[in-house]
């Protein structure tokens, strides 16, 4: 049995784990990420955490999941939003030199998708498209057990897919972008404008939906349609065997998931009907997927 080390690095915390080739987490530790202290302090902390793993040197490789677009060849991120001074810092090389182990890294959504493709809801499927439907929207294409990250690491940045015509500019995304129309944040923002200015989060909107509030029903129906538009755009490029959907918004999947599926079928060619659209299975896809990066590269 082979074992791998996974590092799940975020803006507030970092987790380090030892994971088997079947996806079993046999050891895990957690620490503050020290994200505002600069890359050397962050990475030195991770190195010490890895050295605390029992028999860490016997593991076959290290994988790092990190927020932001990742240049998987050069081993650095090209855009850091919550990790100070990390842009273009040679993360993989720094860890390799300290630990004398091969290190691979990728975007946190990509590694979560890899985990679902290899040992989760997409297991056994050749082409898996993973979507996280949460505060934001992210995606990952996994083909034959490998994440497709693209030329500059931006593959899977589906939040910026245009799903509606509008002139309203909300943030750095294009007008009518999927994330600004259908994410958890967007659901709450739109509900504050159209239903109740005191609404805090998407869950409250789904609660209103179940109570029969017509405005909430209309909003969720519109979200389900625009989410399906995004999926159809993806499908016409990669034609996956399965869509795996995870993230916090899917806690209310029983209220919108079937609508997404029905809308999707109206938006794609008839020959594309019948694709599997399933919920994610894993409790810890981020840490498991990070650990499986080395395995996906043949280690």
Model pLDDT, residue 68: 84
Model pLDDT, residue 152: 86
| Nearest CA-CA partner of 84 in 11, 9, 8, 172 | 11
In which element (H, E) is residue 131 found? strand 127-133
Query: If you count DSSP H runs as helices and E runs as strands, how many of each does the chain have, helices first?
Result: 9, 12
Strand pairing report for 3-9 and 13-20: antiparallel
Q: What is the largest CA-CA distance in the chain?
A: 60
Beta bridge mates, 6: 17, 63
What the block records as the tokens of 217 is 């029903």
CA distances from 131 to 25, 96, 107, 263, 288 (A): 23, 31, 13, 17, 17
Read off the pLDDT of residues 147-182 as tens digits, 9 standing for 90 and up.
Answer: 999 988 889 999 999 999 988 898 889 999 999 999
Model pLDDT, residue 127: 98
**Mean per-residue pLDDT over the chain, rounded:** 95
Read off the pLDDT of residues 112-126 as tens digits, 9 standing for 90 and up.
Answer: 999 999 999 999 999
Does this chain's domain 3-113+284-296 share its CATH topology with 124-279? yes
Mean pLDDT of 244-270: 97
Read off the pLDDT of residues 18-72 as tens digits, 9 standing for 90 and up.
Answer: 999 999 999 999 999 999 999 999 999 999 999 999 999 999 999 999 988 899 9
Tell me the C-alpha distance between 24 and 99, whole Å: 23
Model pLDDT, residue 270: 96
**What percent of the chain has pLDDT above 90?**
91
Give pTM, 2 decimals.
Answer: 0.91
Q: Which CATH architecture describes the domain 3-113+284-296?
A: 2-Layer Sandwich (3.30)
User: Could you tell me the pLDDT band of residue 238, with boundaries at 50, 70 and 90?
Assistant: very high
- Taking 80 as the threshold, does the pLDDT of residue 90 lie above it? yes
Question: Does domain 124-279 bear CATH number 3.40.50.620?
Answer: no
- Taking 90 as the threshold, does the pLDDT of residue 92 lie above it? yes
Q: How many CA atoms, within 13 angstroms, populate the side-chain half-sphere of residue 107?
A: 28
- For the chain, the distance separating the N- and C-terminal CA atoms, rounded to the nearest angstrom, is 12
**3-state DSSP assignment of residue 210:** helix
Read off the pLDDT of residues 209-229 as tens digits, 9 standing for 90 and up.
Answer: 999 999 999 999 999 999 999
User: Could you tell me the pLDDT band of residue 251, with boundaries at 50, 70 and 90?
Assistant: very high
**What percent of the chain has pLDDT above 70?**
100
- Taking 80 as the threshold, does the pLDDT of residue 81 lie above it? no
Model pLDDT, residue 233: 98
Domain residue extents for the chain: 3-113+284-296, 124-279
């Amino acid at each position: 049995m082979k074992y791998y080390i996974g590092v799940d690095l975020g803006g507030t915390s970092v987790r380090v784990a030892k994971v088997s080739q079947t996806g079993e987490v046999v050891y895990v530790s957690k620490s503050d990420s020290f994200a505002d202290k600069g890359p050397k302090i962050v990475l030195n902390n991770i190195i010490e955490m890895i050295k605390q793993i029992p028999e860490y040197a016997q593991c076959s490789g290290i994988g790092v999941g990190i927020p932001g677009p990742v240049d998987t060849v050069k081993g650095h991120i090209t855009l850091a939003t919550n990790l100070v001074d990390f842009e273009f810092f040679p993360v993989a090389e720094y860890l390799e030199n300290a630990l004398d182990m091969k290190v691979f890294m990728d975007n946190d959504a990509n590694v979560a998708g890899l985990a679902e493709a290899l040992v989760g809801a997409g297991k056994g499927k050749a082409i898996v498209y993973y979507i996280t439907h949460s505060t934001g929207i992210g995606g990952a294409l996994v083909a034959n057990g490998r994440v497709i990250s693209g030329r500059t690491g931006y593959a899977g940045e589906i939040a910026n897919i245009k799903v509606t015509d509008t002139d309203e500019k909300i943030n750095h995304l294009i007008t009518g972008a999927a994330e600004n129309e259908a994410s958890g944040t967007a659901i709450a923002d739109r509900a504050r404008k159209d239903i109740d200015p005191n609404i805090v989060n998407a869950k409250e909107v789904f609660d209103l939906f179940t109570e029969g509030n017509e405005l909430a029903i209309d909003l969720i129906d519109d979200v389900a349609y625009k989410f399906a538009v995004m999926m159809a755009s993806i499908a016409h490029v990669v034609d996956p065997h399965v869509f795996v959907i995870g993230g916090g918004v899917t806690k209310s999947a029983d209220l919108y998931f079937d609508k997404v599926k029905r809308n999707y079928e109206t938006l794609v060619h008839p020959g594309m009907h019948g694709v599997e659209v399933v919920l994610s299975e894993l409790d810890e896809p981020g840490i498991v997927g990070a650990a499986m990066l080395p395995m996906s590269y043949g280690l």
